[in-house]
Amino acid sequence: MHYLLEPKQPEDLPKIMHWLNWYTAMCFNRMLNRTGHGSTSLTTSFWEKRYHSTGFANTDQRRALNTLRYIHANPKAAGIQQGFFYDFSNYGTHDRLSNDGITQWHSAFLLLGRTLEECAARYRQFCKKYRPKSKPETRV
């Protein structure tokens, strides 16, 4: 799972991620009818690893756009999806200017054009140019 979050206070990120991991693990474990000894074991067993985050200045528009594109291209790059539209992605809110009730368009997206339609068209073209970098092999 990938998120592009901007907490009001940078030090709130660990608390936000803890809550997201806990809540989603509880929901998924309930759906999968999994039980265990305490919420910590369920969270750990579901997510396996702690989250990884990389911060950057909210004024770094280029980094924000590249990060957003990376997130939207990830299912395609992982071979899960043919295109950018994916049930568990908010790419459609950017491409089709729909409202999912959660997503806020990043200022970097809004700087792509004079109208929302122009922003969407330019973002669509920007995403089509994405070429994932191959990851180095990891030895076990």
Which helix (H) or strand (E) is 53 found in, with range?
none
Return the HEC string of 4-52: CCCCCCHHHHHHHHHHHHHHHHHHHHHHCCCCCCCHHHHHHHHHCCCCC
How large is the C-alpha radius of gyration of the chain? 17
Tell me the per-residue pLDDT of 77-133, one tens digit each, with 9 for 90 and over. Answer: 878 878 888 887 888 889 999 888 888 889 999 999 999 999 999 999 999 888 877
Q: Give residue 67's identity as a one-letter amino acid code.
A: T
Q: What is the mean pLDDT of residues 28-45?
A: 63
Q: Where are the domains of the chain?
A: 1-55, 61-128
What's the confidence (pLDDT) of residue 114?
96
